[in-house]
A and B are shown apart, each in its own frame.
Chain A
């Protein structure tokens, strides 16, 4: 027993010396001390990193599978656009595929394939562009898509133009005229095509309703075929981009980012930076800023009214990558070396999961808009819950991640969305 303690102490000393020499810029003695208290061993860290990378691949793979299903549903629908059942199927597949994608958003702000164009990019108008914006850019100006790409003035605009809608052209229309709100590809343009504009109104279904949407996809000899083409091609682009992400995390490809990452000495720091930035800067501060303004304009998935599922699956994603546990399969996560923070972070994430459960939570736009038709005390209670409980909880989660980083000897500088 005694010898074991001694040899452990010896190893710890070595580790502390290594920390001192390799991480000189970031580690002072205090941090190294904390690192010793919190870290089990270097081996555990590599297992945490490996589990994270394996989960990244697994969930991108599932996102890909679900997006293939979305693509198939779209292909069936555009060949039979007056078929209401097929449109419902497309909408459902969009929701399901997006749920999987939302889990992966925790991988942002980590210098990884999703938002570091040095690792993975698509050329947009000649310049290498990160995938995140091409897949999930928001805010978007749907008038750009409707009027300047499809060519119809049904939602306003002036001088509408029919532009080529092939895949290559669509990609290059992103951020046209130096305007980031010109979003031609990704989840939200597809969402717009499937649901159309929406009001904050608890008495109506989201968007234009099935009949109206089908009308737009079928009735106009000029614009309906263009709208179908746009839907089909935008879905193909989304699928290709998700495939790129999946492949970048593929452990079976020796040249993939997966292998760079698991051998990267900064991997753990990158993981924690992503967790911290995504929880507080992105989710708490930016995505929930409609709690401050009480205006539907600040709702992200406003066309389909699926904003609750955004928050729910985003928070679930943090939980999965933090704990390493997914779909009943247990794994080693950062929680194992987070000391007292682990329990607190999980408790705060669970608050969001309970409060934003898309099956039961009241629609987000009606929650934030004080004078929305059909608004009830249930909506007001939810507003209070988000404002005073859930939003501060997500903010605290982010700060706790920064502190975990500090205790492990890293200076975590959260990224700005």
Chain B
């Protein structure tokens, strides 16, 4: 008897909503943004589930969603034979490089940030957020001249420090380039209409230069991003990325979407940038070799010179820097293996993807405008030598384009066409497992956001409107949106 009553009242409620919605719809001017209160009333709909959307990486999708190694698995469609090559590549991604002269893989440094790829990309996930007053260990601080560019239009290296501050050296850190540390925070309180408050903390860095303070410099602190699904991103057709370009905001949605064109060292020309926080690398190979050289101090086929430019280290002479037994230190076979590996690290399957709350969150994600930049899906093209990632239906939630993210996120360091306020839309796949893989991981470029909600609240610039809509949402809808993000 009691049950019946409930059903009845629920039905009445539905009818009420229906009538109400129709009224609103009739009044609605289609040129305007949908009135926000409509969102609160529209019913969560099973239709928001799309068949197969849980396979974020298409057929490459992996199935470990419970362990700390959830990001450290190969594409599920790798053959046994290619899996062997994948794991051999993994071993070099994990290899710790040793001082020049050792019998193992040697040639570390002389200046470096970490001694392995894995050291920063912890279990292939996001690096740890910098802790107050502690040495940074899985992020880089990039530096360059504030004005001017190099001959290829990229950041102009500082004559002493180069393009990143290496905070370690191979002789027990006698005198590394610098020792950047977070020395405090600028805090900001966000108050929601329902009184809920979130305290945001923006880290303040002291760079602690060891070789003098450079004149006219810009810097940008960046945690190591997760490396899942990179081959799939590489396989997205360029035309599909450019489709969303709207640099002058002709459609007047407040969102521009700008491609970065960056220098390809191998082909000697400008190409669309896809990788890195500012889409400043055209392909995975160049990204990897640049990281070997800049962050580990390992010479590679593309970057054969030691990253050594300081002038007064007590034991290191940069005119004649200590080098490893092999030249380059990471030879073509090693960079090929690491490339193979980094193309094929799988994206894990989504969780709770049919949960009504998650589907409601997904609906809101689209309706308040998040998806305008965090583009949901693509069908990849053909990527030569990588059949696994070719022709896959994928759900990365990124447009790989640059967007003005506002004052709070700006770093004032331009990188090719990306100015100091612009960042590449970060792919959201796997975001719900980031903390499982590395509990100390921080979100956003400098790891400042401890939670996904904090990351949303830091959005500004082109994302300001979407953020404001998020703040206006009632509590259960905010929770739904976060549950959706956590299901990715």
A-side interface residues toward B, CB under 8 Å?
A: 138-144, 148, 155-159, 177-181, 197-198, 280-281, 284-286, 288-289, 292-298, 302-303, 391-392, 395-396, 399, 411, 413, 415-417
Segment from B81-89, B262-270, B446-454 that makes contact with A: B81-89
With A148-B172, A399-B80 known as contacts, the answer to whether A139 contacts B99 (CB < 8 A) is: no
Task: Give 5 closest A-B pairs by Cβ, nearest first.
Answer: A285-B87, A139-B104, A141-B98, A158-B315, A156-B101
Q: In the complex, how many angstroms separate the beta carbon of B85 from the nearest chain A beta carbon?
A: 8
Q: Which residues of B contact A285 (CB under 8 A)?
A: 84, 86-88, 90-91
Q: How far is the CB of A352 from chain B (nearest CB, A)?
A: 15
Q: Bits for B137-172, please: 1 = Cβ < 8 Å to A, else 0.
A: 100000000000000000000000000000010011
B325 touches A396 (CB 8 A): no
Among residues of B, the one whose C-beta sits closest to the C-beta of A175 is B96
Measured CB to CB, the nearest residue on chain A to B329 is A297
Q: For chain B residues 77-121, which have a beta carbon within 8 Å of chain A?
A: 80-81, 83-88, 90-92, 94-106, 115-116
**Is the Cβ of B88 less than 8 Å from the Cβ of A289?**
yes
B64: which A residues are within 8 A, CB to CB?
Answer: 413
Residues of B near A297 (CB, < 8 A) are: 103-106, 325-326
Q: Which residues of A contact B334 (CB under 8 A)?
A: 293
Which one of B72, B83, B99 lies within 8 Å of A157 (CB-CB)?
Answer: B99
Which of B90, B97, B331 is the one whose CB lies under 8 Å from A181?
B97
Contacting residue for B69 out of A302, A392, A413, CB 8 A: A413
With contacts A181-B97, A396-B80 taken as known, whether A141 is within 8 angstroms of B102 at the C-beta atoms is yes
Q: Are A417 and B102 in contact (CB under 8 A)?
A: no
B194 beta carbon closer than 8 Å to chain A: no
| CB neighbours of A144 from chain B (8 A) | 99
With A and B bound together, what is the CA distance between A415 and B83 in angstroms?
14
Q: Is the CB of A158 within 8 A of B102?
A: no
What distance in Å separates the Cβ of A293 from its nearest Cβ neighbour in chain B? 5
Is the CB–CB distance between B99 and A293 below 8 Å? Answer: no
Q: Which residues of B contact A294 (CB under 8 A)?
A: 333
Contact present for A284 and B84 (CB under 8 Å): yes
- Cβ-closest chain B residue relative to A287: B91
Q: Chain A residues near B101: list those with CB within 8 A.
A: 143, 155-157
Q: Which residues of B contact A392 (CB under 8 A)?
A: 80-81, 84
Chain A residues contacting B96 (CB-CB under 8 Å) are: 139, 179-181
Chain B contacts for A417, CB-based, 8 A:
91, 94
What bracket does the count of chain B residues touching chain A fall in? Answer: 35 or more
- Across the two chains, which residue of chain A brings its CB closest to B91? A286
A-B contacts, 20 of them at CB < 8 A, read A139-B98, A141-B99, A144-B99, A148-B172, A156-B100, A159-B314, A177-B168, A178-B137, A179-B115, A180-B116, A181-B96, A181-B102, A285-B86, A285-B87, A292-B85, A292-B333, A293-B331, A297-B106, A298-B105, A416-B69
User: Across the interface, do B333 and A280 meet the contact criterion of CB distance under 8 Å?
Assistant: no
Chain A residues with CB under 8 A of B94? 416-417
| Smallest CB gap from B92: residue in A | A289
Decide if B42 is an interface residue (CB 8 Å cutoff). Answer: no
When C-beta atoms are compared, the residue in chain A nearest to B326 turns out to be A295
| Interface residues in B31-89 (C-beta closer than 8 Å to A) | 63-64, 67, 69, 72-73, 80-81, 83-88
Q: Which residues of A contact B173 (CB under 8 A)?
A: 177
Chain A minimum-CB-distance residue to B69: A416
Is the CB of B174 closer than 8 A to any CB of chain A?
yes
- Closest residue of chain B to A288 (Cβ to Cβ) is B88
Instruction: Judge if B279 is at the interface, Cβ distance under 8 Å.
Output: no
Cα(A411)–Cα(B67), bound, Å: 13
Q: A139-B104, A297-B325 are in contact. Are A181 and B115 (CB under 8 A)?
A: yes
Question: What 19 new A-B contacts, CB under 8 Å, besides A143-B102, A280-B83, A285-B87?
Answer: A139-B98, A139-B105, A140-B102, A158-B316, A159-B171, A177-B172, A177-B173, A181-B98, A181-B115, A280-B87, A281-B90, A292-B333, A293-B331, A294-B333, A392-B81, A416-B69, A416-B72, A416-B90, A417-B94
Whole-angstrom distance between the Cβ of B477 and the nearest chain A Cβ: 31
Judge if B441 is at the interface, Cβ distance under 8 Å: no
CB distance from A297 to the nearest CB of B (A): 5
Task: Please measure, in the bound complex, the distance between the C-alpha atom of A148 and the C-alpha atom of B100, giving whole angstroms.
Answer: 14
- Residues from chain B with a CB closer than 8 A to the CB of A178 are 137
CA gap between A382 and B97 in the complex, in Å: 28
Residue B129 lies at the interface, judged by CB distance under 8 Å to chain A:
no
Chain B residues, Cβ within 8 Å of A391: 84
Q: How far is the CA of A216 from the CA of B100 in the complex (A)?
A: 22
B456 close to A (CB within 8 Å): no
Q: Most chain-A CB neighbours within 10 Å: which of B80, B81, B116, B174?
A: B80
A344 nearest CB across to chain B (Å): 13
Q: For residue A300, which residue of chain B has the nearest CB?
A: B104
Q: Give the shortest distance, in Å, between B38 (CB) and chain A (any CB).
A: 40
| Nearest residue, chain B, Cβ from A400 | B80
Give Cα A410 to B423, complex, Å. 43
Return chain A residues, CB-CB under 8 Å to B115: 179-181
Residues on the B chain within 8 Å of A143, using CB: 98-99, 101-102
Q: Are A159's CB and B333's CB within 8 A?
A: no
Contacts of B344 in A (CB 8 A): none
With a cutoff of 8 Å between Cβ atoms, the chain A residues found around residue B168 in the complex are 177
Interface centre among A148, A297, A396 (most CB of B within 10 A): A297
How distant is the Cα of A293 from the Cα of B333 in the complex, in angstroms?
6
B315 touches which of A159, A280, A399, A416 (Cβ 8 Å): A159
Minimum C-beta distance from B405 to chain A (A): 32
Question: Measured between alpha carbons, how far is A303 from B103 in the docked complex, in Å?
Answer: 8
Report the minimum CB–CB distance from B93 to chain A (whole Å). Answer: 10
Chain B residues in 8 Å Cβ range of A399: 80, 83
Complex Cα–Cα for A339 and B167 (A): 55
CB-CB under 8 A from B172, the residues of chain A are: 148, 159, 177
**In the bound complex, CA of A32 to CA of B97 (Å):** 46
- Cβ contacts under 8 Å, A411 to chain B: 63
